[in-house]
Structure 1
C-alpha cells in the first residue's frame, strides 16, 4: 500500500510520518499496522481539530498539525513516535490515571478546563485544556490504543480572570472616599489575582515633589519588600535595581528581566517558582500632563509576557492612574463639584475604550460567533451600564439632564421597563406580575427616563430576591397622583438602611449566600430623575427577609395622552460581501481605536468607508 494511504493528507505531520523511520519504534513497519490504527490515524491526520493517537503498551504518540500548538517548539517534532509517558512527563500525574482508567475499563473520559503545566514557551507554563480519551478496540474488544481530541482553553480562562480584575478595579477604586482608600482598593483588587500579579508596589508622586513614596503593596509588605519606601526623582540611584526615576522621566514602561541575577528574590504566592521579571510603569491619566505615580508589577513565572499580558498591565495602570488623578483633583477642593468632575472623568475614561471593544465584539459575533465572545460582550455591556450610571450621577449633580416631557399613558412605559429587565428575571427563574390599567392612567413624563426609573427598580427587586420568587408591579390613581409600586419577596432592608438607600454609593445588603454587586448608584439616580418629574420615591420594608416595596409617586395628568409610537427594533447586523449600490460612508472620529472598529463594522455591512480624525479633514473628504 502506498505511504500516502497510510498517512493521508498533505499536512506537515502526514509528510513527516511518510519520511519517518518507524523501524526504531515499537510500531514497526506501517505495512503491518492493524486496520484500527490506520483508521484512527486517518481521522486524526485529516482533521483540523487538535487530535492525537496513543498506541500500544508504550503509548506511542501520533498527532496532527493542529496539535503542534500544544507541544510548542521544545517538543515538536521530537515527540512524534515517542512514548507519551516521556513526552508528557510533567503532567503525567494528572493524565496518567485517566489513561489507565480507559485502558482498564474501556470507557471514555471527559475533562473540562483542566489546569496543567506544560514545558512550552516557559519551562513550566500555566495552561488549561479540555480533552477526552476514547478507547480504540482491537478485534478481540480489548483496548489497543487511545484516541484523544482536545482543545486549549487557556486564553478563555485567563482573559476572563483578567477582565474580572479590570472590572473590579474600575468599580472599587471609585467606591473609595479618599486617596488613601483608592490606593488600598487598587492593592486589594490586584492582591486577589496572584496568578497574574505575583507582587506589586504602588508609588505616589505628588505634584512638585522630588520624591515618590510607596503607599500600597501586593504580595509583600512595607516591612518585607525589597523595594525602597522612598525614591528620589531627581536621578536614579546607580546602586538601585529599580529605575523609577527613569521611568517617570521617559514616561514609558521599563522591563526588568532576570531579577535573581540582580540579587532580588521575590516569591510568587500562587506558584513555587520565584518571580524573574517585573515592569516599572508610570501611571498616566487623560488630561493630566504628569504621571500620578508608579506601579512596579511582577510578571507571573508561569505565563509568557506576551501582547495580551502587556495589554492587561497597561489597562491596570490606566485604571489606577485615572482613579488616583481624579482623587487628587478632589483633594484640591472639598466641594461637590470636584467629586462630580471625578465621576465624569472616570466615566468618560472608561467609556472611551469600551465603545471600540463593544463594536469589535459585534463584528466578531457576525463573523465568528462563539460562547467566549458572548461572555466577554455580556461583561463589557455590564461595565458600560456601570459607566453610564457614573455619567448620569454627574449630569444630575450638575443639573445638565434635560427632559422631554409629554403626556402619555403609563402602561406603555411600564411595559418597556419590564421588557428591559426581562432577561435578568428569566435568568433567575422569577415570576413578575404586572397590574397596570391600559387606559386612563396618564402622566406627563420623559418616556425614556421614566422607563429607566422603573427598570432600575424592577432589576433591583430581581437582584435582591431569591430565584423563583415573585415580583409585583402595580399602578393606581390616588387623588391627583399616580402611584407605581414595585414589590418583591426578597432580602428586605434593615430599618437603619431605609434612610440611606437613596444616597450615592450606598449599597443595599444582599444575602449572606449571594452578595450583590454594583456601584450603589441606581437608587440615587432613580430618586433624582423622579424629583425632576415633580414626583417622589418611597421605600418600605419590614426588615430582613421580609421583602421590599418601592413606590414612585407622580402628578396625574388629565386629558388625552399622546399615543406612543412603536419603533421596530433594528434588524440584526449581517455581514455582506457586496457593496450596497456602491455607497460610501465617512466616519469622523478622533479616537483611533474607535474609528478602526467602526470602519470594520461598517465595511462588514458592505460599504466603502473613509476615515477622518478631525473636522477640516472630514470636510475635505466630504467635498471630494
Structure 2
C-alpha cells in the first residue's frame, strides 16, 4: 500500500484519511483473515495480504480502485445490491455460500463465499464505508454438491433392469446438475463397431440427431467424433473431446469408456464446465461419476442377461410341461385299457401260477398308472390348470380312512400304524381327490423309509387351521437335504429305504396340492430317529376360489379305489409280499378315463 500514490485516488493523501478509515485499516492489516474496506460512494478498495488470494490476478491493481471497476463481471448483479443494502440500512449483513463469478485466473470462475458486511459509521452517523470479512467456501460447496449428485445417481440407478433405462436416468440426473456437467451424451454398444446415442442432456436436438449413430469401423475424418470415440473404445481409456462435436463451441467434454468384464459396453460423454478450474477434485469427480454409471450399467446388463436366461428356462420348462402332459395322456389310455382285461382275468383265474403272473401285471400297470397320474398332476400345476373343487368334509374321518388302507401293509412289515384323528371343531373345505393324494403320499413315504417302530397319523385343530401330522421312526433325512426335499425330481442320496424306485416328484406334488388349499407343509427330521411332516389347512372358505356347499358329482379321471389300490399295491411290493388277491375295498375297478 505504501507504494501507491494515494493523492490521485478518490481517498486523497493518507494524512487526510478519516479516523474511522484509519481505524478500520489497523484492524484488517494485522489479521490473517481475508478482509477488505470499500470506502466512500465509489467503494474504493483497501485490503490485507490474505485478501489477495481471493482476488488473484486483480492484485495489486485493485488497490485504490473502485469496486465497480475491479469486479465488472459481477458488480451490478451480485455485489452492488449487497453493498447498497448495508449502506442504506446502516446495519451489518451476512451471506453464506454466496455464488460469485470472478475473473481472477484468466477466466470467469464460479466461486462461493461467506461474506460479512459491517458498516463503518462516521462521527455524524452516516456510513463512510463497508468492512468485508470474507471466507471462500468454493471447495466445500462443490464437494457437497457433487456428493449429492453421486448419491442421488446411485439411488436412482439402483435396480434398473435395462441399459436403456440406466442411460435415460443418468441423462435426467445430470441435466439437473449442469453446473458440474453442462451437457451429456450417453452411448451404448448395440453391436461390435457401433455406438448408439441412448440418451443426452442439454445438447440441441439437431446436434443430438446428427451424432446418434456412430460407426467406429467406418472412420472418414481422423479428427471427427467417430475417430475420437473409436480411440476411447479401442484403448478403453478416457479422452478429451472438443464441445464443437456436439454443437457446444468453446467448450470441452470428457469421454469415458464404461467397461464390463474387459468389454466396453458404452461411452459416457460429460461436458466440462469452463467456469470451474481443472483441479484434481474435478477430475476425481468425473472418475467417480463414470465408475458409478459403469456399475449401474453393468448391473443392468447382468439383470437383462439373467432375465433372458430365465425366459429361456421358462420356455424350456413350458415345453417340458407340455411334453409331460401329452405323454401322460398318451400313456394313460393304453394303461387303462390293459388294466381292465387283466383285472377281469384275475377275478376269473383260480390257477396259482397264472394268478401270480396276472397279479404281477396288475401291480406293474397300477404302479405305472400312478406315476403317469402324478406326472399329469405336476404338469397341470406348472401350467396353472389344476383347480380344486372344495367342499366341507369331516377331515378326521376321511384321513383315518385313507391311512387305514395301509393297515395290512404295516402288519406285514411288523410296524405299528397309529391313527389318532378325533373330530375337529368344524368341517374343513378340501378337494377330496387332492387330499387323498396328500395323505396317501405321506403315509406311503413313511412306510417306505421305516424299518422299526411305526408311523403315527394325527389330525388336530391349531388355531384357525386344521393340522395333519405324519410322524415316523424311520431312517430320517440329513439336515442339508431338507431345503431341497420339496423340489421336483430331487431324491435323497444314500437314504435307506425299502425301494430305490421313485421319480422324485411325490413330495413336490404334495406341496403344490397343499398350497392350492392355501395351506403349508413343513418337515422336521433327525437322521436314524425319524421324520415328521406337518400340513396345515385354514378353516373357512375366504381363502378358496371354487367352493361347493354339498358333495360334488364324481369327477372324471382315476377313481378313488384305483388310486388307493395303486398306493397299497406298491407298498406290498416293497415288502416283497403280494396276497392272493387284494381285499375287495382295495380292488380297483377297470379305469374309465382314456
User: So what's the TM-score if we normalise by structure 1?
Assistant: 0.46
User: So what's the TM-score if we normalise by structure 2?
Assistant: 0.48
